[in-house]
């Protein structure tokens, strides 16, 4: 099974974000690999933020546009033994049980119904309050949802593009 992820901008750098869910515990991992090289297709396409990536071998990832699914090139994150720059672990909350028994089984929540165990989805994540303005930057909680990470990345890109105008 090939590893698949997304190209993201984090702190001004380009990263491959690979997301995985643990089989034995309700924990999602966000694994960030720093991109050290990009290569286009030769037809004018280049990898860019938001592209889908599929690991080809070692630290090489093939990129494609998420809308058109056309190849945009390749990125490299080093060798196959290069460690991720950051690994974030986030608890996956249980869904509303409605009085039914719940369990975490093979990477997902399940609810016990009359017909047996059935997928139950995930619970709602709590809204994380922003830290006070006087707190040091970068010391917020590492437990964030994918939606929160995407919002932070989008805000960073907006701020960066406004500075360059």
* Predicted confidence (pLDDT) per residue in 3-18, tens digit: 899 999 999 999 999 9
Give the per-residue pLDDT at 58: 85
Give residue-wise pLDDT tens across range 91-104: 999 998 888 899 99
**What DSSP element (H or E) covers 153?**
helix 146-163
C-alpha to C-alpha distance for 74 and 131, rounded to whole angstroms: 37
Q: How far apart are CA 61 and CA 74, in angstroms?
A: 6
User: What DSSP state is assigned to residue 26?
Assistant: S
* Residues in the chain where the model's pLDDT stays below 50: 135, 138-141
CA 16, CA 36: separation in Å to the nearest integer? 10
Angle ∠(54,58,63) on CA atoms, nearest 5? 25
* Cα–Cα distance, 165 to 154 (Å, whole number): 17
Query: How far apart are alpha carbons 64 and 136 in whole angstroms?
Result: 37
pTM of the model: 0.69
Nearest to 150 by CA among 58, 50, 74, 54: 50
The whole-number pLDDT of residue 141 equals: 47
Q: Given this model, what pLDDT does residue 52 score?
A: 96
pLDDT of residue 107: 92
d(CA 118, CA 28): 20
């Amino acid at each position: 099974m090939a590893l698949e992820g997304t190209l993201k901008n984090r702190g001004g750098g380009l990263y491959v974000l690979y997301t995985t869910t643990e089989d034995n515990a309700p924990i999602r991992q966000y694994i960030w690999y720093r991109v050290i090289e990009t290569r286009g297709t030769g037809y004018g396409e280049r990898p860019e933020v938001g592209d889908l990536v599929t690991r080809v071998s070692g630290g090489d990832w093939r990129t494609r546009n998420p809308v058109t699914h056309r190849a945009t090139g390749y990125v490299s994150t080093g060798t196959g033994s290069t460690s991720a720059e950051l690994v974030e672990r986030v608890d996956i909350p249980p869904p509303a049980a409605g009085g039914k028994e719940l369990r975490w089984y093979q990477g997902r929540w399940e609810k016990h119904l009359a017909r047996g165990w059935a997928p139950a989805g995930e619970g709602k994540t709590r809204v994380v309050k922003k830290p006070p303005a006087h707190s040091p930057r970068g010391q917020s909680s590492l437990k964030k949802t994918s939606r929160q990470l995407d919002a932070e990345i989008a805000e960073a890109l907006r701020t960066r593009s406004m500075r360059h105008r």
